[in-house]
Structure 1
């Protein structure tokens, strides 16, 4: 078993924001506990994840998130330098669709929603962003995305594809299978 390795990241401007809400605090607390459980079980190289608003916990191997899509970033030896790309805003997501549908009305009637500063007590203390509820609820769209992703993998891994692509695909799918088996054991 490999020794546990840690890494630090400077957040810079990403960390400059308002105080966290109760939801943010609960989420961070849960991720910290999950990270501690991963360390305790000697699972090095995993990212602690919580999915859904109920907080289904798990760990995702960093290797499954790596891409090598920029030849300019390769090492001087010519070896690939994989990276984890930043998450992109889903321009077809439920939250943006709802905003687009109401945008004209909001502009014409001066309609807006301003919840004010984060509240830590009272009626609004446990409120979440509307986008969290909207984005987490589109189950059928997620199934459709999964089928498209699987079709892309199947298309790319036909006879004659590179052995590197085949090896990466196999390792990633084996990791996914292992994660699914762990979820079934809960």
Structure 2
């Protein structure tokens, strides 16, 4: 009888462990990886589809259209961000697959929102609430002071050395002595979805 009870307890423990394992797998963030090929090297970004589905759909749609091919990094803010995604290269352009700017995805319950603007985070650039199009930035240094009003939709998982080399280029000061446009263009050759 005691032997049967021990067997039952072991069996029950295995079932509980299986349930916990399934739950933790379903709680994992759904991700897609892309490779951004630049004139300085490759950057691999993990996209957070579960945290920012509309933003990731927009980004991937633009990638599929070839929108980012030939687009410059138009802004380098030393020790802060590098920014791209404007086909005009001015910082004032951009488009979305929705035909208009789309809303922010700033859900405080998501992992990315809780993580905040850490080094390597990829977030949408905007000109105010709900004005997202195609521009995005990559954070160079942890920026806990940055207001949480920019949709985080990914993180660099490989190639931060390339990001740092872009951040180190000489710039024409625009916004401040350390924030401006690269003297020599740094360009996205293409972006591919990793399969």
TM range (shorter): under 0.3
Q: If each structure's strand is expressed as a fraction of its own residues, which one has the higher value?
A: 2
- The structure with higher relative contact order (CA 8 Å, sep 6+) is 2
Structure 1 length-normalised TM: 0.24
Structure 2 length-normalised TM: 0.23
Q: If each structure's helix is expressed as a fraction of its own residues, which one has the higher value?
A: 1
